[in-house]
Amino acid sequence: MSQTTTQNAIPPSTWREAFKISMPVAMGYLPAAMAFGVLSSTANIPDWISIFISIVVFSGAAQYAAVQPVATGASILDLAINTFAINLRHIFYALPLMDSLPESKLKRTYCLFCLTDEAFSLMTTLPKEKQKSLFLKISTLVHSYWVIGTILGVLAGHQLGKLIPNLEFALTCLFVILWYEQWQQKKVYFPALIAIPAFLFAYLLFPKILLIGALTIAIIGIMIHYFSFKRAE
């Protein structure tokens, strides 16, 4: 069977399909982004700045970390360095999905911008033939969930934080669920065997820079695993 015939046999992806697939992310992003909006309001950050940050940064961990610096008037350079350090891991997310990106440069750039932890986990659970047709749709939806959640959060302000405490923990719960679904799909053990010790070592050795420390140790572990695997071949 030719490649053209195979492609024709695959039904076109729709927004409805993308919405259905991305619903687990929506259920985590909406409360997590609302938590960011609430925290921003509590820190007296103007609503438009909070919404603007969610549009142009779109990173849960980096945005939570930016609340206090923004509220205290930190410089743009300091914020940029912190955001870059926290989001450095996103560079590696694009590598296994390069062939699935849209052809248009503008669309490719936007999809890469939207490739968060949760979006990456979601995309890698899809079959290869579905990734390309759904990439832009899923990217647009997950970005929209985060912005909508932020808007709801800044509108609710202090009251929502009092009614539903610890909203920011929704992002952690979401990532654990997506990791489990990805593990069910791929049955690959080594990422967890690297990530858990990396976190524990970072917690003991670098508690003040826990995220960056854990990521650095995890990257070293992945490189060791990769080169050991290549040598075994």
- 48 shares its domain with 97: yes
Instruction: Please state, in angstroms and as integers, the Cα–Cα distance from residue 185 to each residue in 88, 126, 135, 197, following that order.
Output: 26, 9, 19, 23
- 169 shares its domain with 93: yes
Residues of the chain under the 70 pLDDT cut? 1-12, 89, 158-175, 177-178, 181-182, 184-186, 211, 230-233
- 56 shares its domain with 123: yes
- 164 shares its domain with 197: no
Quote the domain boundaries for residue 94: 3-187
- 51 shares its domain with 148: yes
- 180 shares its domain with 193: no
- 84 shares its domain with 117: yes
Last residue of a domain, one of 152, 168, 187: 187
Give burial (CB, 10 Å; 0-12/13-18/19+) of 89: middle
- 214 shares its domain with 136: no
- 130 shares its domain with 233: no
Return the pLDDT at 166: 62
Residue with tokens 């976190």: 199
Nearest residue to 143 via CA among 50, 227, 60, 20: 60
Domain count, the chain: 2
What gap in Å lies between CA 100 and CA 214, rounded to an integer? Answer: 29
- 46 shares its domain with 116: yes
List the Cα angle 130/190/171 in 5-degree steps.
Answer: 65
Return the pLDDT at 149: 92
- 86 shares its domain with 128: yes
For the chain, the C-alpha Rg in angstroms (whole number) is 19
- 75 shares its domain with 178: yes
What gap in Å lies between CA 161 and CA 155, rounded to an integer? Answer: 12
Structure pTM? 0.67
pLDDT digits (tens, 9 = 90+) for 67-123: 777 877 777 777 777 777 777 767 778 888 888 888 899 999 999 898 888 888 888
Dihedral angle of Cα 40, 42, 45, 48, to the nearest 10 degrees: 60
